[in-house]
Amino acid sequence: MERYHYEKACSYRKCGIIGCGNVGATTAYTLMQTGWFSEMVLVDLDMKKAEGEAADIAHGLPFHTPMDIYAGDYSDLADCGLIIITAGAKQKPGDTRMDLLRTNARIFQSIVKNIAIYNQTAILLVVTNPVDVLSYVSFRVSGFPAHRVIGSGTVLDTARLKKLVGTHLGVDSRNVHSFIIGEHGDSELPVWSSANISGVDLAHYCESCGRGYDQAVLDSLFYDVRDSAYKIIEAKGATYFAIAESVKRIVSAILRDENTILPVSALVDGHYGLEGVYMSLPCIVSRAGIRQVLEIPLNEEEETKLRQSAKKLKEAAQWLEENALHT
């Protein structure tokens, strides 16, 4: 019944993007090139900025599939099937993602309330950091069912891990299969216990290609993944190309009803004995949003680290409930 109502009320061919900073504009440009949408509306507190980005992107349309790209306000989101939220304060050099929490939670409370005035049937895709807690804020404030409130989660972190492991082993990164789960941030963790190279156990593959399985080397690769955003921000001020590609991958899973497994941020309710927290676990993503959150096998160390990550996120969400959220 929920799915039928969603399909009747919204258009999968119309997308809204809130926030026209580096991430929002790059995401809009990346999605424009796909040809998936016939209409895209950009919403920003700075209307002039939204108009400029919309015009700049639209001028490239003669090289792509025709569509209508324009700046608008919240009322223009009324019939969007998908609304992507990238608005918020920037992460500055030296800031952790959790440093952004106080400011961005207040921003999000206003954004999500305005969305809900005009549209209560879309899928919300949250990209702004700290993405797990802001996904929780969006879920709480919107009143939407959890399967239609999705965070970009550790999709990008997982891609970064695949790239570094692939380079280390001299193999196509698309053949590397592993996940980073938990917080999209400092307490995230790699799932080495089930990692494989196209079905070949990672340890066995390392031995067979003559490199040997060195946990210290793998841990070093993970630390590079965990800290990569900080390094990029220090070097160029912001990250936006790879996250835009990550958003594109999630959007593809939704629009094409792929039932693809991605480590997006979702409401965890009973998995690993955890409840009431948004964080990344492998999820089946389809046109309905999150079809299912998966409980993949973890070894004892991984499960302990996952619980620690969940505890950190739950404490942040609880602080917001007590001090910032008024719904």
Looking at 64, 184, 204, 271, which residue is catalytic? Answer: 184
Question: What is the C-alpha to C-alpha distance for residues 243 and 155, in angstroms, rounded to an integer?
Answer: 9
Name the DSSP letter for residue 64: S
**Cβ atoms within 10 Å, residue 29:** 16
- Residue identified by tokens 């030296």 is 94
Question: What is the C-alpha to C-alpha distance for residues 38 and 12, in angstroms, rounded to an integer?
Answer: 9
- Residue identified by tokens 């900080």 is 230
Q: Across the strands, what pairs with 290?
A: 285
Q: What angle do CA 185, 187, 189 make, to 5 degrees?
A: 100
- Asked about 184 being catalytic, the answer comes back as yes
Among 127, 182, 181, 130, smallest CA distance to 150 is for 127
241-255 and 155-169 helices cross at what angle (nearest 10)?
Answer: 110
Question: What is the C-alpha to C-alpha distance for residues 4 and 310, in angstroms, rounded to an integer?
Answer: 33
DSSP string, 68-130: EEEE--GGGGTTEEEEEE--SPPPPTT--GGGGHHHHHHHHHHHHHHHHHH-SSSEEEE-SSS
SS3 11: strand
Question: What is the C-alpha to C-alpha distance for residues 68 and 223, in angstroms, rounded to an integer?
Answer: 42
Query: CA-CA distances (angstroms) from residue 116 to 24, 95, 112, 152, 268?
Result: 20, 31, 6, 20, 23
Q: Across the strands, what pairs with 41?
A: 16, 70
Dihedral sign from CA coordinates of 19, 21, 23, 28: positive
Give the residue numbers marked as catalytic: 184
